[in-house]
Amino acid sequence: MNLRHLEVFHAIMQTGTVTGAAHMLNVTQPAISNVLRHAESQIGFRLFERIAGRLHPTPEASGLFADVQEVFGRIDTLNRSIDDIRTGRSGRLAIAASPTFVNASLPAALAALYRRAPGAGITLQALPSARAIEERVSRREVDIGVVYQPVLDPGVEVEEISRSQVFCALPAQSPLAGLEMIQPADLVGQSIIAPGASTRTGTAIIEACNGQLPRIALEVNSSQTACLMVAAGIGVGLVDLATVTHYPLKDVIFRPFRPRVDLIMCLIFPKNRPRPRLATQLAMELRLILSPA
């Protein structure tokens, strides 16, 4: 029996008549009768007997019906899955991001995404370097990456998502707290906590200061970590303000840092590959979270 045979058999079993099956499948009665005759010819035995104007299943047909119902149950499950994917209620998504974004913007964005698609299966990888994230995306091991510019891998497509800048994180009791802004000269003699040169943020800070920044005493790979170290009294931090205000720390305050260090946050996708619906929805949620108030 082919799928068309099964479809007609299933419809007749459910409705009990050729007319009912025709209505269910939106075809003519002769079409149903022709498919039924062909099915019985193929399998070599009758499936229905006509009694008092109705079709009654033969014992053989009744024995087959449980298996046929299982087939159509699976088809119903498949159709629900297709509908969930189409409407964004489920699916799979693999994300790679720096620890800064994993700890800051992504929790709120993923919470909003799960409200839209509660059945989604999501994998989130926190990787130590932007280069590693770009490689995962370029090799199509993940669907979307969240990094700072500049993006160097030619195998990815880049979309700017938000802009921020570097601020100085200070203990509230620091003598520097009275300044309206902090410059490299103000940090002489301070223990500086900042992303190192191996990170995009660290590179941007070093280049903007053009050799005027005192030595970094403690290198970290996320702005949240820098703020935790400031809160512990280790020193002063240079951080991405947009990613640390999600989780304010008691007795840690922020002042603008000059020269101004602009940070461009972006999403990257595998080049020349259709984007999963969930990736598009995640991008939308991140833009809403990171957009200026």
Distance of alpha carbon 122 from alpha carbon 208, whole angstroms: 37
CB atoms within 10 A of CB 291: 9
pLDDT digits (tens, 9 = 90+) for 33-87: 999 999 999 999 999 988 877 788 999 988 888 888 888 877 877 777 677 667 6
Mean pLDDT of 216-231: 90
pLDDT in tens, 162-213: 888 999 999 989 999 899 999 999 999 999 999 888 888 888 998 999 888 8
Contact 42, 29 (CB under 8 A): no
**What are the pLDDT digits (tens) for 2-41?**
889 999 999 999 888 888 889 999 999 999 999 999 999 9
Q: How far apart are alpha carbons 98 and 27 in whole angstroms?
A: 56
In the predicted model, what is the mean pLDDT of the chain? 88
Q: Are strands 262-270 and 144-148 parallel, antiparallel or unpaired?
A: antiparallel
- Annotate 174-190 with b (16+ C-beta within 10 A) or e (fewer): beeeeeeebebebbeeb
- In the CATH hierarchy, which fold is given to the domain comprising 92-160+264-290? D-Maltodextrin-Binding Protein; domain 2 (3.40.190)
Report CA 41 to chain centroid distance, whole Å. 51
Q: Is the pLDDT of residue 97 over 90?
A: yes
Q: Write phi, then psi, for 217 (nearest 5 degrees).
A: -80, -35
CATH code matching the domain that covers 163-263, chosen among 3.40.50.1970, 3.60.70.12, 3.40.190.10, 1.20.1070.10: 3.40.190.10
Asked if residue 293 has pLDDT above 60, the reply is no
Topology, domain 3-87: Arc Repressor Mutant, subunit A (1.10.10)
Task: Determine how β-strand 121-126 pairs with β-strand 92-97.
Answer: parallel
Q: Confirm whether 92-160+264-290 and 163-263 share one CATH topology.
A: yes
Which pLDDT belongs to residue 186? Answer: 94
For the chain, domain boundaries: 3-87, 92-160+264-290, 163-263
Give the Cα separation of 211 and 270 in Å (integer). Answer: 36
